[in-house]
Amino acid sequence: MPAVVFDLGGTHLRCALADDAGAIDRIEKKRIKSFVYGHRPADIWHEVVSSIVGFESSVKSDIPRDAPIVLSFPGPIAHPSRILSAPTLVGEGTSIPDLGSELTELTGRPVHLLNDLSAAAWYISEDVKNNRFMVVTVSSGIGSKIFDRHSFRKVLDDVPYAGEIGHVAVGGVSDAILCDCGGRGHLGAIASGRGIQRFARRMAEQDAPGFARSACVLNFGATANTLTNEDHLVPSAALGDPWALDVIRTCSRPLAKTLLSVVLAAGVEKIIIIGGFALALGEVYLDLIRTELIAACDYEVMTDYVQELVAVGNVKDEACLKGAAIYARSL
């Protein structure tokens, strides 16, 4: 089915037309307001709505009147299209409008809201041939979705907590830092890129001699207060620095154990890892997760599977936009 498709992130809105085959055209990208820079939630929602309606109006003559709007959204969605929260867009503790109904009223089109990781799973389903696979994002947080070709829904996201593995309390790091949601010891607070950076800074203070010998300091000039993933930890790990790799391994161990539990419970055939932190490290991160999976698995039946269980996804900036188009095709 042709559709008007959108991908809303924390800083940009991507827009496109999707044809019957799920291919996209007329792609536009617009920077939107963010609460990070002090904009009020009401102003952010107004800009999002007006931008979507404006693009729909500009392509109205090029697409059938009954073609839907499909929006990839950065937050949990309750069935059928109710936004539960939008922390990366407007922050926590703010009222959420009925975006779907408002867009339908303004455009006259049916509106489908899709969690952005669900959209990514639809996109990845075009390349991965396994019947049941899981997409896991390792970025500022941790999240996942299971894609099952035998399910009429394909992406198993009919309940809003589906894939919220980042909020499983796993411990694994003493004195676990608070999760952004307020919980303590959550997987996302430990194994996400944000959690790893926080833990690295803590270790830089607690293990000052080891940190001083690391590539983070010697090659890239980090201090305990200025240490970041992008400038210090990731490039050091890519060089094989033992201190940086040990920090990432310590934080990633609970993720490997959680993934193994999901694999055994749901019969997942493949895990595709995406997200800024994981993709920045690439094969280094993949080797580390594989090693931790093997260490966590003491079950003979899994021996022939665990080594090839994980892969890094080939995900570009327009993955969620294209995923929205593929979802529209499935309608």
Mean pLDDT within 204-208 = 96
| pLDDT range class, residue 324, cuts 50, 70, 90 | very high
pLDDT at 92: 74
- Contact criterion met (CB below 8 Å) for 236 and 286: no
Per-residue pLDDT averaged across 179-205, rounded?
89
Averaged confidence pLDDT in the chain: 91
Cα–Cα separations (whole angstroms), residue 38 to 8, 90, 99, 143: 19, 10, 22, 27
Give which of 138, 145, 163, 164 is closest to 276, Cα–Cα. 138
What are the tens digits of pLDDT across the range 67-108? 999 999 988 888 888 898 887 788 777 888 999 999 999 999
User: Which residue has better confidence, 225 or 304?
Assistant: 225
Q: In angstroms, rounded to a whole number, what is the distance separating the alpha carbons of residues 29 and 95?
A: 26
SS3 of residue 267 by DSSP: coil
H helices of the chain, in order, are 41-59, 87-90, 99-107, 116-124, 187-191, 193-206, 208-212, 215-218, 234-238, 242-266, 276-281, 283-296, 303-306, 319-330
Tokens of 243: 């201190």
Tell me which residue of 325, 330, 327 sits closest to 19, measured CA to CA. Answer: 325
pLDDT-based confidence at 235, cuts 50/70/90?
A: very high
15-35 pLDDT, tens digit per residue, is 999 999 999 999 999 998 888
Contacts of residue 50, defined as CB under 8 A and 6 or more positions apart, other chains included, come to: none
Percent of the chain scoring above 90 in pLDDT:
72
Dump pLDDT digits (tens) for 94-147: 888 999 999 999 999 999 999 999 999 999 999 999 999 999 999 888 999 999
pLDDT at 35: 80
**Residue 210, pLDDT above cutoff 90:** yes
CA–CA distance, 182 with 207 (Å, rounded to integer): 27
13 burial level (CB within 10 Å; 0-12, 13-18, 19+):
buried
Q: Coil, strand or helix: which one is 309?
A: coil
Q: Is the pLDDT of residue 38 over 90?
A: no
pLDDT of 119 reads 95
Cα(320)–Cα(73) distance, integer angstroms: 9
* pLDDT, position 171: 67
More confident residue, 82 or 217: 217
DSSP string, 80-103: TTEE---HHHH-SS-----HHHHH
Say yes or no to pLDDT of 248 above 70.
yes
What's the pLDDT at 3?
96
Q: Decide if 270 contacts 134 (C-beta within 8 A).
A: yes
**Cα–Cα distance between 221 and 153 in angstroms, integer?**
49
Per-residue model confidence (pLDDT) at position 85: 84
Average pLDDT over residues 198-216: 96
User: Contact at 8 Å (CB) between 124 and 137?
Assistant: no
SS3 196: helix
Distance CA 235, CA 256 (A): 22
Are 89 and 81 within 8 A, CB to CB?
no
Q: How many CB atoms lie within 10 A of CB 189?
A: 27
User: Average pLDDT of 243-267?
Assistant: 96
Please state the rounded mean pLDDT for residues 285-291: 95
Q: Would strands 270-274 and 132-138 be described as parallel, antiparallel, or unpaired?
A: parallel
| Residue 174 pLDDT > 70 | no
Name which of 273, 277, 195, 199 is nearest 235 in CA terms: 277
Q: Identify which of 192-201, 240-249, 311-320 has the greatest average pLDDT.
A: 240-249
Residue 172: pLDDT over 70: no
Q: Do 196 and 204 meet the contact criterion of CB atoms below 8 Å apart?
A: no
Catalogue all structural domains in the chain, each as residue range(s) with its CATH number: 3-123+318-330 (3.30.420.40), 129-312 (3.30.420.40)
Q: Assess whether pLDDT exceeds 80 at residue 281.
A: yes
